[in-house]
Amino acid sequence: MITHISPLGSMDLLSQLEVDMLKRTASSDLYRLFRNCSLAVLNSGIQTYSSKELLERFQDFDINVLRRERGLKLELVNPPEEAFVDGRIIRSLQANLFAVLRDIPFVNGKIVSAGRHQHLNLANASHITNLVFSILRNARALHVGEAPNMIVCWGGHSINENEYRYARAVGNQLGLRELNVCTGCGPGAMEAPMKGAAVGHAQQHYKEGRFIGMTEPSIIAAEPPNGLVNELIIMPDIEKRLEAFVRIGHGIIIFPGGVGTAEEFLYLLGIMMDPENADQVLPLVLTGPEESADYFCVLDEFIVSTLGAQARRYYSIIIDDAAEVARRMKKAIPEVQENRRRCDTYGFNWSLRIAH
């Protein structure tokens, strides 16, 4: 099966020089990465934690960038049948497929060009932040003038049924308060809040629902985007992905997880405890069902024993109360908005100091 896909989203208007650059980059050493991430997108919603399994199943899949007078098209060779309905690609997958093209070949080409002309130094914290901003802006993820309402949710990709149900309940409460959700885009605690928020938005007739999936190339094949993601963003690596989370978010919720979730929590705590960030307003809540209380208790004890009791002022722990978590986030939004109005922008937190 061979099919041609037209752009949908941020790659729908390119110059011929940009298309030529994309064709060169997509057929370079980056091709395998571009191909594998595209395959992951076309398998959005499947439950697999093995990139090897996914790649072996679709060994004959191929993708090519074709130049057209009005821009470009993607040629898909032997794509997954599940990505199509009556011969037409599912629109969310179409948009996310071009997000892969935008964030891997296109962004990489821009990085190489900027580095060649000495405009970009990836050892410089300011340059890294500007790169993160450029990627998010290029993805049209930064909405000028839009009031703060983006809640970042972190947590494990492999959680039990009760934890999933609770994370979905929290998402529903966020949706009922017309708050949007940004997660790591995969399954588990990344999918559940989105699923709940989608229902909450529908109940409130809220039409501006945003479900941002923030991932990076090394994990997207093992964790294909869940079916709720309507804005896929692939950051170059884990460090820039984490920075994107904290600069785009107006509040952060952490659900139960593993070592990765604890690392994300420590990363954020390190930022918030920096004296230069003393005036920052970024509500942080750790939450889970009753059975997860021990997880957060151990995490809290570890923080106190290593960083001191003063670290507790930067986060709250709420157990088995989804509505209270959402209320806490919603209540903090006016303070976040006032803080950003005084010294920053709503969509991207420039003033937050992040040491690299």
For residue range 144-198, what is the model confidence (pLDDT) as tens digits?
Answer: 888 999 999 999 988 999 999 999 999 999 999 999 999 998 889 999 999 999 9
pLDDT at 293: 94
What CA–CA distance (Å, rounded) separates 266 from 153? 15
Listed in sequence order, the DSSP H helices in 249-316 are 259-272, 293-307
* Strand-pair category, 62-68 with 71-77: antiparallel
Written as six digits, the tokens of 178 are 């017309």
Task: Give the Cα separation of 15 and 106 in Å (integer).
Answer: 12
pLDDT value at position 28? 74
User: Torsion-angle region of residue 87: left (phi > 0), alpha (psi -120 to 50) or beta?
Assistant: left
**Residue 197, helix vs strand vs coil:** helix
Q: Residue 141 — φ and ψ, nearest 5°?
A: -90, -10
Q: Please name the helix (run of DSSP H) or strand (run of DSSP E) that holds residue 62, with its range, or none.
A: strand 62-68
**Cα-based angle 15, 16, 17 (whole degrees, multiple of 5):** 90
pLDDT for the residue numbered 261:
92
- On average, the pLDDT of the chain sits at 89
Contacts (Cβ under 8 Å, ≥6 apart) of 348: 133, 136, 142, 247, 248
- Measured distance CA(84)–CA(106) in Å, rounded: 26
pLDDT in the model for residue 48 = 58
Whole-angstrom Cα distance, residue 312 to residue 292?
19
Cα–Cα distance, 135 to 279 (Å, whole number):
26
| pLDDT attached to residue 209 | 95
Q: Rounded distance, CA 66 to CA 28, Å?
A: 15
**pLDDT tens column, 319-351:** 999 999 999 999 999 999 998 888 778 999 999
Residue 146 to residue 182: CA distance in whole angstroms: 16
Burial of 273 per CB tally in 10 Å (0-12, 13-18, 19+): middle
For the chain, which ranges sit under pLDDT 70?
A: 9-13, 45-51, 114-118, 221
pLDDT of 282 reads 95
Helix (H, G, I), strand (E, B) or coil at 26: helix
Cα 43 to Cα 20: distance, rounded to the nearest angstrom: 28
Going from the N-terminus, what domains does the chain have, and what CATH number goes with each?
A: 2-120 (3.30.1850.10), 150-343 (3.40.50.450)
> What pLDDT, on the 0 to 100 scale, is given for residue 47?
63
The 8-class DSSP code of residue 86 comes to: T
Helix (H) or strand (E) holding 165: helix 161-176
- CA 4/CA 24 separation, integer angstroms: 19
